[in-house]
A and B are shown apart, each in its own frame.
Chain A
Amino acid sequence: MYDSIRMNVLSYVSPHLEKALKNLNFDGVTEIRVGKNMPLCAIVDSRAFFIGKKGELLKSYQNAYIATEEDFSSTLELMTAASIYAATDELKNGFLTLPGGFRVGVCGRAVLNGKKVSYIKEISYLNIRIAREIFDCAKKLSNLILADGSVKSTLIIGPPGSGKTTLIRDLARILSDDYSVRCAIADERGEIAAMHRGTAICDVGKLTCVMDLCPKKYAVNMLVRSMSPEVIITDELGDNDDLYTVKKAMHCGVKVIATIHGDKVSDAGAFAKKFDCIAILSRQSIGKIQKFIKNGDKNG
């Protein structure tokens, strides 16, 4: 794990940040937050700590390392391989993806083109999320959605940081390797499989194919047409296009397993009615199912 962080995160931050972070104990760290001219911060087991110059965790920001403007521009350059234009599609959605599936949330000033965000400039905040593979964390969920012998379309609802992506990644692996289900992943943000030069860095199963960094509405369509999957797995449903995409895939006889932000069934809006099962996650631990509801029992 530490090797992966060293290779995929520490080599993409400025030398000063690298120096501060290389002594940090990454056990339980889920996020590293870097703000321009702000103290360096880590989220450890859902609690925020500041990081000192030597990587020590501090409760107060007074002795924390302050990320300078130079740190920031150097980090951003390393993260985008000195090619902002190549990352604009990701940036306008508010994130960057590092090799290894580490996602970096980005905050700054949005540039609008009509009603859509076309770019984020003057980036002032980075949130490096430490991607983790937790094997068998989806074992319980796989048993629930395969209770009748066939896979059920399932919507996973969870707040940010509840492990939705980690869960569906492991679910893809279990369905593919243990049940020989042909899975396809529409990985719009590149963090489920963490593809790097055509190879999935994370284990998503031997029968799983991945359409990487492609908008869901195109990816699902292409996967249904060309890869004849039994199950399509995708992350973070949101708008009407996604709803239409899910409906279309289900009408083609493909089961869909997807995630959505929220903490109760009503947060999923119209999506909730489309799925056979709904699993609600809690923040308490990665992939912990708080409630599992089958179709027809949605008040559950």
Chain B
Amino acid sequence: MVKLAGCVIIIFCCSALGFLKAAEFEERAKILRRMKCDFEFFKNEISFMRTPMCEILKKAAKREGEIAFFYNNVCKNFENCTHESFSKLFCREAQMLEKSVPLTKGDIEILISLGQSLGKSDVDGQISAISAAEAAVDAQICEAEEVKSKNARLFKSLGIYAGILITIIFF
């Protein structure tokens, strides 16, 4: 009876690990899609409302996306008069994102290069910078979808099979 319970627990845990890893691939694509929506929102706020950057980030944070906390941190730090430049703050917070969300270095790089030009030019300049970032995110979304379809099922199956294998070996 104990052996049976142990087998079930091992299979369950390994499967859960596999499913969690698979979910990361799904989450990355989801975050990238959200990022694209946010960039579109930035463009609208800049071209039609001329909203200052911090206000835009605050509004974006209220939309409660997966990286809402990132927008929040950037504008909170900037408003707290740390005397660090906006682009430095944005890039620093973007680099820290890698620890908390399943984004790759390439994804973060898009945010960093956008951060270096945000707020530094006229409306046309801002729109082109954000459009370039959007195009880069589009490419990352395609790649993320590919990786997801290739690896998500693999990791789910791997989790289950690894659980079964361990059970067979040890029991």
Residues of A within 8 A of B (CB): 11, 14-15, 73-74, 77, 80-86, 88-89, 118-119
Contact = CB atoms under 8 A, between A and B. Distances in A.
B11 to A, nearest CB: 53
A15 B81 CA distance: 10
B47 to A, nearest CB: 9
Contacts of A15: 83
Contact of A83 (B52, B81, B85, B87): B52
B126 A82 contact: no
A14 B83 CA distance: 7
A85 B122 contact: yes
A85 B83 contact: no
B51 interface: yes
SS class of chain B's interface: helix, strand, loop or mixed? loop
A80 B53 CA distance: 10
Interface residues of B, number: 20
Interface string B107-121: 000000000001111
A84 B126 CA distance: 10
B51 A82 contact: no
Contacts of B125: 85
Contact of B51 (A77, A84, A86): A86
B86 interface: yes
A83 B83 contact: no
Contact of B86 (A82, A118, A119): A82
Contacts of B135: none
Interface in B49-65: 50-54
B147 interface: no
A85 B126 contact: yes
Contacts of B78: 82
Please indicate which of the listed interface residues A15, A73, A88, A118 has the most CB atoms of chain B within 10 Å of its own CB: A88
Given A77-B86, A119-B122, A86 B50 contact: yes
B91 interface: no
B123 interface: yes
A84 B83 contact: no
B46 interface: yes
The A interface, classified by DSSP as helix, strand, loop or mixed, is helix
Nearest to B124: A85
Contact of A84 (B81, B85, B87, B122): B122
Given A14-B83, A73-B85, A82 B52 contact: yes
Nearest to A18: B83
A73 B120 CA distance: 10
17 contacts: A73-B85, A74-B83, A77-B85, A77-B119, A80-B119, A81-B54, A82-B86, A82-B87, A82-B119, A83-B50, A83-B52, A83-B53, A85-B50, A85-B119, A85-B121, A85-B123, A86-B52
Contacts of B118: 82
Contacts of B126: 85
Contacts of A86: 50-52
Given A77-B85, A77-B119, 7 more contacts: A82-B118, A83-B51, A83-B119, A86-B50, A88-B122, A88-B123, A118-B122
B53 A82 contact: yes
Contacts of A119: 122
Contacts of A85: 46, 50, 119, 121-123, 125-126
Contact of B119 (A11, A74, A84, A118): A84
Contacts of A80: 119
A88 to B, nearest CB: 5
A84 B52 contact: no
Contacts of A77: 85-86, 119
A83 B57 CA distance: 12
B21 to A, nearest CB: 38
Contacts of B46: 85
Contacts of A14: 83
B42 to A, nearest CB: 11
Nearest to B82: A15
3 smallest A-B Cβ distances: which pairs? A82-B86, A83-B52, A82-B119
